[in-house]
Chain A
């Protein structure tokens, strides 16, 4: 499976030369104008990414990112149309103008910044952490010499070997890796803290915990077409996301969806919270 992924990555890499976006000004107002004329904002969400976006029992899309998409539409005074995307096609969907905006669990990376208009600040963040049986691990140093399960092809896998001396056992998929942890083949599962938190919240992992903070955090960013990044649409989104950090509504969503509080959201809230103390005379 990893081989397939590698092949696809190579193919995507090669084809990216063929479809490199033309140089365009980055303050276009085209998207905003067409959204307002249409009266509909088309937002790309992942759809199978609990609890950020998923189909509820009645078939409708729900989740944190779905809520955020609806808030953006509400602020613009238009309808939200949710379009299901995958991590493999979301950037193409945006480039082909089939969607106006991505809110789909996308890491903000240097290479993506060349393809799409990444909106600052990020609205969420995650990074590598551990899931282990209660009390088995107390700190990152505890993994030295021990077998640690992971998923093949994850970019940060080698950190746990080079920096902490663990013995990495990488499996083809999440399910196998986590099953190996459950049946005691390794002492911890090394993966994204957001995914671990979501697993723990399902209640299927009684007796397990996330004992350490993420090694680093990588923000997840909303994205607009590259040409719109510094245009009206990009700036509106930037402002909205800033507001969600500032007023604590992202932290409220985290609580609403039963996720463990993360340091990154708390820090963002603290650093972006506007100091209104001068108003008190």
Chain B
């Protein structure tokens, strides 16, 4: 594959001056590949963590324990009102200094890598929005529906699992889709703690080859493609789960 495209891009550079070094320089190609893999893995992990945090947070918000409800409210206030870059640096340099070191056979490395901290920090950041999105979905379920299920002798737990949850999920989907897309884009800031994702990889390339414009273009295309895929998945999910007449 690389052997096949390399001459094409070398010819392109000769003809037009456009320097797409990752497609003909082997070192830059390896950087690009690491960047794509790390970035995709980071996006998947962050989205999953944020969904789990969102569901747990929304459940805790409905708890009868006042302390738990207060903690969730404090968490949301803290993580929605501070910039994600600051959170990332806080987790990596602040909390990261307190985590134990692991012996790697002669040298030490922190137990949680920069990738690990990026998943934790961005997952928690995105989760704080998801909590509110799920809460809004739950609150959108009409009271009359809940009364109807009560009249059918459903217990509160049964009502939540069989009636509230399925409807709340459908109400949440549009807002959830836009938050997940925004979160996927936010993973690009992980480069400040040296996670070798796309932005980090390509900024390394353009620093060495001074092909800033071309690499920015590549980065742009990459994120548009990723966002398009996430958007398509969420759109399909919405269509599949659509209940005729719901929300009309």
Chain A residues engaging chain B, CB cutoff 8 angstroms: 2-3, 6-7, 9-10, 13, 136, 146-147, 149, 152-155, 157-158, 162, 169-172, 176, 179-180, 183-185, 187
Do residues A155 and B96 form an inter-chain contact, with CB atoms below 8 A?
no
Q: Which residues of B contact A170 (CB under 8 A)?
A: 194, 200, 204
Do residues A152 and B204 form an inter-chain contact, with CB atoms below 8 A?
yes
- In the complex, A2 Cα to B189 Cα: how many Å? 12
Judged by a CB distance under 8 angstroms, whether B222 is at the interface is no
Do residues A153 and B207 form an inter-chain contact, with CB atoms below 8 A?
yes
Q: Which residues of B contact A2 (CB under 8 A)?
A: 203, 207
Q: Which residues of A contact B10 (CB under 8 A)?
A: none
Q: Which residues of B contact A176 (CB under 8 A)?
A: 89, 93, 192
Q: Tell me the B162-215 residues at the A interface (CB within 8 Å).
A: 191-194, 200, 203-204, 206-208, 210, 212-213
- In the complex, A9 Cα to B210 Cα: how many Å? 8
Judged by a CB distance under 8 angstroms, whether B37 is at the interface is no
Do residues A172 and B192 form an inter-chain contact, with CB atoms below 8 A?
yes
Given A155-B207, A171-B194, A183-B110, 6 further pairs, Cβ under 8 A: A6-B212, A9-B210, A10-B212, A152-B200, A154-B207, A185-B109
11 A-B pairs (CB sep. < 8 Å): A3-B203, A13-B210, A152-B200, A152-B204, A153-B207, A157-B204, A158-B208, A172-B191, A180-B194, A183-B93, A184-B110
Of the candidates B96, B192, B203, B210, the one whose C-beta lies within 8 Å of that of A183 is B96
Q: Tell me the B102-119 residues at the A interface (CB within 8 Å).
A: 104, 107-110, 114
Do residues A158 and B210 form an inter-chain contact, with CB atoms below 8 A?
no
Judged by a CB distance under 8 angstroms, whether B63 is at the interface is no
Of the candidates B97, B109, B110, B210, the one whose C-beta lies within 8 Å of that of A10 is B210
Q: Which residues of A contact B213 (CB under 8 A)?
A: 10
Q: Which residues of A contact B96 (CB under 8 A)?
A: 183, 185
Most buried by B among A13, A162, A183: A183
Of the candidates A152, A184, A185, the one whose C-beta lies within 8 Å of that of B207 is A152
Q: Which residues of B contact A9 (CB under 8 A)?
A: 210, 212
- Number of B residues whose C-beta is below 8 Å from A? 25
1/0 per residue, CB under 8 A from A, across B82-111: the answer is: 000000010001001100010010011110
Q: Which residues of A contact B101 (CB under 8 A)?
A: 184
Do residues A155 and B206 form an inter-chain contact, with CB atoms below 8 A?
no
- In the complex, A154 Cα to B208 Cα: how many Å? 8
- In the complex, A33 Cα to B144 Cα: how many Å? 95
**Chain A min CB distance to B34 (Å):** 11
Assuming the contacts A162-B27, A184-B101, asked whether A171 and B206 have C-beta atoms less than 8 A apart, the reply is no
Q: Which residues of A contact B107 (CB under 8 A)?
A: 136, 146, 187
Q: Which residue of B lies closest to A3 (CB)?
A: B203
Do residues B204 and A147 form an inter-chain contact, with CB atoms below 8 A?
no
Of the candidates A3, A158, A169, A180, the one whose C-beta lies within 8 Å of that of B27 is A158
Assuming the contacts A7-B212, A157-B204, asked whether A169 and B114 have C-beta atoms less than 8 A apart, the reply is yes
Q: Which residues of A contact B109 (CB under 8 A)?
A: 147, 184-185
Q: Which residue of B lies closest to A188 (CB)?
A: B107
Q: Which residues of A contact B97 (CB under 8 A)?
A: 183
- In the complex, A158 Cα to B207 Cα: how many Å? 11
- In the complex, A185 Cα to B98 Cα: how many Å? 11
**Chain B min CB distance to A217 (Å):** 20
Q: Which residue of B lies closest to A149 (CB)?
A: B194
**Chain A min CB distance to B211 (Å):** 10
Q: Which residue of B lies closest to A10 (CB)?
A: B212
Q: Which residues of B contact A185 (CB under 8 A)?
A: 96, 109-110, 114
Q: Which residue of A lies closest to B105 (CB)?
A: A145
- In the complex, A147 Cα to B110 Cα: how many Å? 11
**Chain A min CB distance to B93 (Å):** 6
Q: Which residues of A contact B194 (CB under 8 A)?
A: 149, 169-171, 180
Assuming the contacts A179-B93, A183-B93, A185-B110, asked whether A6 and B206 have C-beta atoms less than 8 A apart, the reply is yes
- In the complex, A172 Cα to B109 Cα: how many Å? 21
Do residues B110 and A6 form an inter-chain contact, with CB atoms below 8 A?
no
**Chain B min CB distance to A165 (Å):** 13
- In the complex, A136 Cα to B103 Cα: how many Å? 13
Q: Which residues of B contact A179 (CB under 8 A)?
A: 93
- In the complex, A149 Cα to B110 Cα: how many Å? 13
Most buried by B among A6, A146, A169, A185: A185
**Chain A min CB distance to B202 (Å):** 10
Q: Which residues of A contact B104 (CB under 8 A)?
A: 146
**Chain B min CB distance to A267 (Å):** 29
Of the candidates B108, B114, B191, B207, the one whose C-beta lies within 8 Å of that of A6 is B207
Q: Which residues of A contact B206 (CB under 8 A)?
A: 6
